[in-house]
Amino acid sequence: MTSTSELKYKRILLKVSGEVLMGDQGFGIDMKTVQAVAEEIAEVARTGVELCLVIGGGNIFRGLSKAAAGMERSSADYMGMLATVMNALAMQNALEQLGIDTRVQSAIQMNAVCEPFIRRRAIRHLEKGRVVIFAAGTGAPYFTTDTAAALRAAEMDCDALFKGTSVDGVYSADPKKDKSAQRYDSLNYMDVLSRDLKVMDASAVSLMRENDIPIVVFSIRTEGELDKVIHGGGTHTVISN
Lowest mean pLDDT among 18-32, 77-91, 97-111: 18-32
Give the per-residue pLDDT at 1: 46
**Residue among 132, 133, 138 nearest 151 (CA):** 138
235 close to 181: Cβ distance less than 8 angstroms: no
Burial 137-147 (b: 16+ CB within 10 A, else e): bbbebebbbbb
Which residues pair with residue 161 across a beta bridge? 13, 215
pLDDT at residue 67 in the model: 67
User: In this model, does residue 47 exceed pLDDT 80?
Assistant: yes
Which amino acid makes up residue 56?
Answer: G
Distance in angstroms (rounded) separating the CA atoms of residues 16 and 162:
9
Average pLDDT of 96-100?
Answer: 98
Percent of the chain with pLDDT over 90: 80
pLDDT digits (tens, 9 = 90+) for 164-218: 988 999 999 888 888 899 999 999 999 999 998 989 999 999 999 999 999 999 9
Locate all alpha helices (DSSP H) within the chain, ordered by sequence: 31-45, 63-68, 73-97, 119-127, 145-155, 189-194, 202-211, 225-230
Residues 6+ apart with CB under 8 A from 204: 144, 146, 147, 149, 150
Whether pLDDT at 82 is above 70:
yes
pLDDT tens digits along 151-161: 999 999 999 99
Mean pLDDT value across residues 115-128: 98
**Hey, what domains does the chain have and what are their CATH numbers?**
4-240 (3.40.1160.10)
Higher pLDDT, 132 or 4: 132
Please tell me the least confidently modeled range out of 113-117, 129-133, 162-166. 162-166
With cut-offs at 50, 70 and 90, classify the pLDDT of residue 88: very high
DSSP string, 109-169: --TTTSEEP-HHHHHHHHHTT-EEEEESTTSSTT--HHHHHHHHHHHTT-SEEEEEESSSS
* Least confident segment among 56-65, 130-139, 165-174: 56-65
Contact 208, 24 (CB under 8 A): no
Mean pLDDT for the chain overall? 93
Whole-number Cα distances in Å, 28 to 64, 81, 110, 170: 17, 15, 22, 26
Residues 73/141, Cβ–Cβ less than 8 Å:
yes
